[in-house]
């Protein structure tokens, strides 16, 4: 594949903040990808390069764009690129840091994704199939559709309410993606009615990921009203929950300071066990701070009889070294996979392969600051991820991923 040109521009993400979009041109056409951006980011994530200063509140990405056009582009324009590993390896060499702080993870990830699209086009195959072929170089993994996790109530860093828990995700239990999407949309619609009737019109304002941001304080309140809405549609027995606690956001001085009080690690683990005993919760993401390994291990031991997965996000940051550390300490048994946490497709696939080898579940994830790019839908199918989360079944940048999965399902099952 010969790269004819590589250009970058500053665009807006779903929060109205600047982000990077690249356009990579080959003889097969132009391939565009946009870099997502997180709000509750782990301290071990690859570094997102921002300009600082007064312009655009310091959030501009002109430095990252300059790095693409003046450092990356001259090295690849006019060159024959034969593989994903080649272009990713070249960018890693040009960056030369452990955390992508020189070029910026937002610069690197956008180029990596565009290159992946171009390489798929070069082989005249869909993106999900190309990713599957890349992944199968590491392990045999058939194509499969993930279960969607719909963030229907937002809290934490994603909303302006009093909920400590960041995401209340509904996970439908039907046999096809299309059916699961229908269930998720029905619950979301009925939840809107329930919140409006109970709390007034302001209760259906939405957070960053399209979920509602009502004036609630306690997790039980959010779970109860979702179950009530599901019951009205006859869907209560067809849904389960995954919660993203994002506990690093309220971990201070060795305590988890919540609306329910301040908890030590073991006490907080006991609270989770009590919550899981009362509600159909199949997963808890980031129940503790990213370096509080002892508390993670305690919870994993306590949940051994529940069948509830413990999901690392800030803990593992799509980084093989962090995943190995979590495995050694018996901290979790599932990971969130976010490409921009690590920077390249090659590294993200290495993390996915390691998770599969450990027998862990994978949740491919968007970020709270998104673009209309639907790359992660193909990624989830290509690696056989068990789950995908892309926010609520609403808002264009969220629905784009779910609609892409509908299209992929129709092609795979033809």
Report phi then psi at 408, rounded to 5.
-65, -45
Euclidean distance between CA atoms 128 and 73, whole angstroms: 26
- Close Cβ partners of 138 (under 8 Å, ≥ 6 residues apart): 349, 350, 353
Pairing mode, strands 261-263 and 281-285: unpaired
Q: What is the CA radius of gyration of the chain?
A: 21
Closest C-alpha among 226, 219, 227, 233 to residue 182:
233
Backbone CA torsion sign across 403, 383, 243, 370: negative
Looking at the DSSP bridge assignments, the partners of residue 29 are 26
Using an 8 Å Cβ cutoff, are 187 and 230 in contact? Answer: yes
> Which two three-digit tokens encode residue 264?
């030590």
Known catalytic residue at 338: yes
Quick one: tokens of 248? Answer: 């690093």
Residue with tokens 């860093």: 157
d(CA 267, CA 252): 15
Burial of 138 (0-12, 13-18, 19+ CB in 10 A): middle
Cα 334 to Cα 388: distance, rounded to the nearest angstrom: 12
SS3 360: coil
- With CA atoms as reference, report the closest residue to 111 among 39, 20, 196, 26: 20
How far lies 292's CA from each of 258, 315, 361, in Å? 17, 9, 21
Surface-to-core class of residue 30, CB atoms within 10 Å of its CB (0-12 exposed, 13-18 middle, 19+ buried) = middle
Residues in a beta bridge with 369: 37
Please tell me which residue in 21, 209, 285, 347 is annotated as part of the active site. 209
Q: Decide the pairing of beta strands 239-244 and 167-172.
A: antiparallel
Query: Is residue 122 among the annotated active site residues?
Result: no
Whether 338 and 365 have beta carbons less than 8 Å apart is answered as: yes
Q: Catalytic residue among 240, 338, 361, 389, which?
A: 338
8 Å CB contact between 229 and 190? yes
Instruction: Give catalytic residues, as residue numbers.
Output: 209, 338
């Amino acid at each position: 594949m010969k790269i004819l040109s590589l250009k970058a521009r500053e665009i807006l993400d779903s929060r109205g903040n600047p982000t990077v979009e690249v356009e990579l041109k080959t003889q097969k056409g132009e391939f565009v990808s946009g870099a997502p951006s997180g709000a509750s980011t782990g301290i071990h994530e690859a570094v997102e390069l921002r300009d600082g200063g007064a312009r655009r509140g310091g959030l501009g990405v002109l430095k990252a764009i300059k790095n693409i056009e003046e450092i990356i582009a001259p090295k690849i324009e006019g060159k024959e690129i034969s593989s994903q590993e080649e272009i990713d390896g070249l960018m890693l060499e040009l960056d030369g840091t452990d955390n992508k702080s020189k070029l910026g993870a937002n610069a690197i990830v956008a180029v990596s994704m565009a290159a992946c699209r171009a390489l798929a086009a070069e082989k005249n195959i869909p993106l999900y199939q190309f990713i599957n072929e890349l992944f199968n170089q590491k392990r045999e993994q058939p194509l499969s559709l993930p279960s969607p996790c719909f963030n229907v109530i937002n809290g934490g860093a994603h909303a302006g309410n009093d909920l400590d828990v960041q995401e209340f995700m509904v996970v439908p239990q039907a046999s096809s993606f299309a059916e699961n999407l229908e269930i998720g949309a029905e619950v979301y619609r009925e939840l809107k009615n329930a919140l409006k009737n109970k709390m007034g019109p302001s209760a259906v304002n939405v957070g960053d990921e399209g979920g509602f941001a009502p004036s609630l304080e306690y997790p039980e309140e959010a779970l109860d009203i979702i179950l009530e809405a599901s019951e009205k549609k006859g869907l209560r027995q067809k849904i389960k929950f995954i919660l993203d606690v994002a506990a690093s956001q309220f971990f201070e001085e060795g305590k988890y300071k919540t609306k329910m009080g301040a908890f030590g690690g073991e006490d907080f683990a006991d609270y989770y066990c009590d919550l899981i005993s009362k509600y159909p919760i199949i997963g808890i993401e980031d129940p503790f701070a990213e370096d509080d390994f002892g508390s993670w291990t305690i919870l994993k031991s306590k949940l051994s009889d529940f069948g509830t997965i413990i999901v690392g996000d800030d803990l593992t940051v799509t980084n093989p070294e962090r995943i190995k550390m979590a495995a050694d300490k018996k901290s979790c048994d599932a990971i969130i996979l976010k490409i921009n946490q690590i920077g390249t497709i090659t590294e993200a696939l290495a993390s996915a392969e390691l998770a599969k080898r450990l027998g862990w579940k994978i949740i491919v994830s968007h970020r709270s600051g998104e673009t209309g790019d639907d790359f992660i839908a193909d990624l989830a199918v290509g690696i056989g991820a068990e789950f995908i989360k892309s926010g609520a079944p609403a808002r264009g940048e969220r629905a784009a991923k779910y609609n892409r999965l509908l299209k992929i399902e129709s092609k795979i099952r033809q």
